[in-house]
Amino acid sequence: MVLKNYVLVTGGGRRLGAEICLALAEKGHALLIHYYKQADAAAEVAKKCRAIGVKAEAISGDFSTQSSTQQFVEACRARFLKVRSLVNNLGSYAAKSALETTPEEWESLFQSNLHAPRMLIDAFLPEIIEQKGRIITLGIAGVGVLQADVRRTAYRMAKTSLYLLTKALARELAPQQVCVNMVSPGYLENSVDLPGVWPVYSMQRPGLLKEAARVVAFLMEEESCYITGQNIEVAGGVAL
């Protein structure tokens, strides 16, 4: 069944975002595939989604500043694109300690991983409420555990803030029948920092992109409408 309006997937043109788009297309969702610079990749994902039998459009957007994020929202409005549900997948990454991270990197990490998702939620919330849609954010394994992370301090802080925002919005939007959840992958097959030796509690392999994407698709199903405020880890036990 093709649903009214679109599911917007940020960073949907490549990597996990592309796999999420394909998983959602298999479930009959119309897709609005956001990309920044990878126009050809996003066009190819849209083509694959249309081949499955759903509507799919690619749209460019720069989320590096508040003003550029607002320009993306206005571009959607100009094309009369309505967003039923939102998957906040895009986010920059840096494997640096707190002292190694520059002020510019701190600002960039929080902008892409927290402020831009919040702006998109604010912008599209009226139509999400109207359609009783979903909001799904992407976190990281162990995001709910407050512990020192000297390897990627600013990134973890940004994702932890996004997790707390996810829970707060879930509580606030529950009366409007809007479910807000987080999916938190561990090391995936294409992670930029795959370890050479697997931690003792992992399943001795990286996760597959499709394993994380299927959880996003599950949370988007009508039958999952009573699940909200949750963080589902797809991490093989790596953060236990």
Count how many domains the chain has. 1
At residue 1, the pLDDT reads 38
CA 40 – CA 47 distance, rounded (Å): 10
Domain span at 197: 6-234
CB distance 79 to 59 below 8 Å: yes
- 21 occurs within a structural domain: yes
- Reported as type and span, the H/E element at residue 134 is strand 134-138
CA 213 – CA 17 distance, rounded (Å): 8
At residue 4, the pLDDT reads 56
In CATH, what number is assigned to the domain containing residue 162?
Answer: 3.40.50.720
The b/e string for 105-127 (b: 16+ C-beta within 10 A; e otherwise) is: ebebbbbbbbbbbbbbbebbbeb
> Pick from 102, 91, 103, 110: which is nearest to 9 by CA?
91
At residue 198, the pLDDT reads 73
- 208 occurs within a structural domain: yes
At residue 3, the pLDDT reads 42
pLDDT means over runs of 10, the chain (240 residues): 75 96 97 95 98 96 96 91 95 92 96 97 96 97 87 94 98 98 93 75 88 98 96 91
- 12 occurs within a structural domain: yes
At residue 195, the pLDDT reads 78
- 239 occurs within a structural domain: no
Q: What is the CB neighbour count within 10 angstroms for residue 197? A: 6
At residue 200, the pLDDT reads 64
- 240 occurs within a structural domain: no
- 1 occurs within a structural domain: no
DSSP 8-state assignment for residue 234 = E
- 131 occurs within a structural domain: yes
